[in-house]
Structures are given as structure tokens and as C-alpha cells.
Amino acid sequence: MNALTQALASAEPGLMTNLEALYKDIHQHPELSMQEVRTAKIVADEMEGLGYEVTRNIGVTGVVSVMKNGTGPTVMLRADMDALPMAENTGLPYASTVTARDADGVEVGVAHSCGHDMHVTWMIGAARILSTNRAAWRGTLMIVFQPGEETAEGASAMVRDWGESRFPKPDIILGQHVMVGVAGTVNYRPGVTLSAGDSLKIKLFGRGSHGSQPQTSIDPVIVAAATTLRLQTIVSREIAPTEPAVLTIGSLQAGTKENIIPDDATIKLNMRTFSEDTREYMLKSIRRICCAECDASGAERPPEFTTINSYPLTENDLVTTQRVAQAFGHQFGKNASLAPSPASASEDFSIFGRTWGVPYVFWFVGGTDAAVYAKAKQDKAVNKIPSNHSPKFAPQIHPTLETGLQAMLTAASAWLCAGTAA
């Protein structure tokens, strides 16, 4: 146990009670991506009260907090703040009933069904311990609360708004995520940890006509159907079986009435890849197939491609991950483990490190009740546990809250406490 986690263990009993109340408050008041005004005010006010130099509205609603505490490395800790456009169905007494208008003006339910409310709470807890125990560490601490992770907008927006000398350049960037897994455990992985994610909207053009006269049309529904089937062969027939990849078509929209052949159809797809070569190949294959199917149908216009969002690979630096792993081993023992494989989820966390050429480490904290997970594992039904983005996703507050707080302090200590009396 290092000096900071010792400080956490000896903190006032009211700390966890206070953090639990904060977590429930943020959970009940979720905000959509790039609309995190209330959450950003909560964290900025809190950080100012703790003595951090706070800059608000970085990348729309992002908050950057800096504390300089002697000579040492600059360590950046990051938490994301946004919620999802979906209704919550957990049945919890503190469940969200919030609705809001999304970027398209559509009213949607809003829920913290990915766990970012836990991330914010962890980070505020870590900020409190670090602020009140400055004798235990040396260096510059930069705590970043990021908007818009769910839409892949937030990290890029903050980087664009950063400026060359506005904030210190970090030596290491650290982040974590609550996931399905035994509460009280953490796992990590050197190298590729999370997949790249790309979402595209593809508009296919035909020629509309009466449903009784198909010979006068170029039917975009047929083009879209053929394209949908053909796109599935990219993974099944063009990518090696040993190379993981996913391509999902989540939306196919065309027409308004059964006897009208429409002018166009729209496909929305998402792909996940674990290497840059595979990503580039699949993006080219998608364009090739869509254009070929339109050409085969005699379409008078080529398809129109629009990128909805794009997440880079999260690829942990090998040396710094080993440093975090050693710290986790001392702190958590057997409850810290190596993740057996990368996850197919995606994150924009790595944009900070990629843009600045700074090593980063991203890891996972289990949030599932141990008994529930053990029973699901026994029944070979772990995949049935409500996961992130499920309307029933609900991390167990304790010990998830404590574990995430310990993990962030432990990882930060590997740099901030090096060479100190701690």
C-alpha cells in the first residue's frame, strides 16, 4: 500500500458516504454528449474548492484542473462525463428519469448506462485525497473531465482548444473504465486494449417510381439489401479468421409507403478493428462494395459516404503499463490481473496521447456483484449480465467505488510518489 492509498484508508468515514451521494446525484441527472453543463459545473466548483487551478469550457464543457506540487513528473488523469441517449430500466431508487433533445432535436431518454457517473465520482475522490495529502507526492497533477466520449467528439474538441502553452504537457496519461467483472477487481493489458471503431452513413441513390411499375425504377431497396448482404462478406471472406474484426449494419432506412419505390436508401454501419492495416482495408472494401452494387444496378449516382464517428485504437504503452501493473500487484494482489484479450469496445481516450506523443495506460474496474458474477459464470451465462450500454446496466456501488478510487491513486502514485518518502 502506497502513501496515497494509505491516506484513502485512513480518510474520514464520511468520505465514501459523500462520494456515494455524489454518484447518485450525477446518476440521476445525466447529460448528453457535449451538453454536460451541470456535471461540468459540479466538478469545476469541487476542484476549485480543493485548491486546483481550474479552467472551464475546454472543448465546449470540458474542465482542466492543475495542481503544482514541487519538482516531479506531470501526470494527467482523465474521466469522461457524458451519458447515453436511452431510457434507464434498472429499477433503482436513484434511476434517471431525465429526457433531453439530442443533436438532431429529437427528445430521448438519458441515462448513465456506460458508467461515466462512476468515473467522475472516482476522479473527484482521487482529487480530494491528492489535494489533502500533498506531502505524500511531488510533481504536477492535471485532472481532466472530458465531454462527449460517446460521440467521439470530446477528446478531439479538448485537444483543439488546448493551445501550445495553456497547460503543462503530461509525461503520462492515465484513465480507467467500469465494466462487467467482479467488483473489487481490476484488469489491464499492454498493447492493444480497445478496438478502433468507425461508424458510417451510406446513402444509396436509385430512381423512384410506382410500385406497380418497377421497370421504370432503379430500386434502392434492392441495392441496399444486396449491399447489406455483400458487406458481411468482408469479415467472413476477406479478413483472415485469425484477425478479429466486426462489421454491423444497425440501420437500413428506405421509403415511406408499400407501393412507392423510393429515390434512395440509407445504411448506417459500425465496424471494429484491432489493427490499423485491417481498419484501412475494411474501409476501402466498404467503399468498393457499395460502389460496385450501385454500378451493378445501374444507379445514376455513386453512393454518398458520411463518417458518423471514428475512434482510434487504444494501445497501451508497454513500459508504462508494466509500471502500472506492478503497482496494481502490490495494491490488489490476486484481484489485479492481465486481461486475456482486447475488448471490442472503443474509446477516444487515446486521442490525447496520440496527439501529443505521450504514453498512456487505460484499464478496467469490475462493477458486478461477486455472487452474481460467480453464478453467471457457473451457468455459462456471463454474457447475460447487463453490460455497458444496456438499459439495465448498474454497477454495484460498493466496493466498485472504493476499488476505482484505489486504482487511480495507485497508478498515479507510480509516478507522483516515486522518489518521495512515500
Asked if 62 and 158 count as a contact pair (C-beta separation under 8 A), the reply is yes
Helix axes 397-416, 14-28, angle to 10 degrees: 110
Q: How many angstroms separate the CA atoms of 334 and 186, rounded?
A: 10
- Helix-then-strand count for the chain, H and E: 12, 18
Q: How many angstroms separate the CA atoms of 310 and 292, rounded?
A: 24
Binding residues: 114, 116, 150, 177
End-to-end Cα distance, the chain: 10
Joined grid coordinates for residue 314: 487504444
Q: Write down the pLDDT at residue 127.
A: 98
Amino acid at 118: M
pTM higher than the cut 0.85? yes
Q: Which residues of 378-401 are buried (b: 16+ CB within 10 A; e: fewer)?
A: eeeeeeebebbebbebbbbbebbb
Contacts of 416 (CB under 8 A, 6+ apart): 4, 72, 73, 75, 130, 137, 138, 139, 141
Joined grid coordinates for residue 369: 456483484
State which fold the 196-311 domain adopts: Alpha-Beta Plaits (3.30.70)
Joined grid coordinates for residue 404: 476505482
User: Tens-of-pLDDT digits for all 422 residues of the chain?
Assistant: 788 888 888 887 899 999 999 999 999 999 999 999 999 999 999 999 999 999 999 999 999 999 999 999 999 999 999 999 999 999 999 999 999 999 889 999 999 999 999 999 999 999 999 999 999 999 999 999 999 999 999 999 999 999 888 999 999 999 999 999 999 999 999 999 999 999 999 999 999 999 999 999 999 999 999 999 999 999 999 999 999 999 999 999 999 999 999 999 999 999 999 999 999 999 999 999 999 999 999 999 999 999 999 999 999 999 999 999 999 999 999 999 999 999 999 999 999 999 999 999 999 999 999 999 999 999 999 999 999 999 999 999 999 999 999 999 999 999 999 766 43
The position carrying cell 459540479 is 42
Query: Candidates 3.40.109.10, 3.50.50.60, 3.30.70.1900, 3.40.630.10; correct CATH number of 3-193+313-416?
Result: 3.40.630.10
Binding residues for Mn(2+): 114, 116, 150, 177
Domain-wise residue ranges, the chain:
3-193+313-416, 196-311
Name the pairing type of β-strands 209-210 and 360-368. unpaired
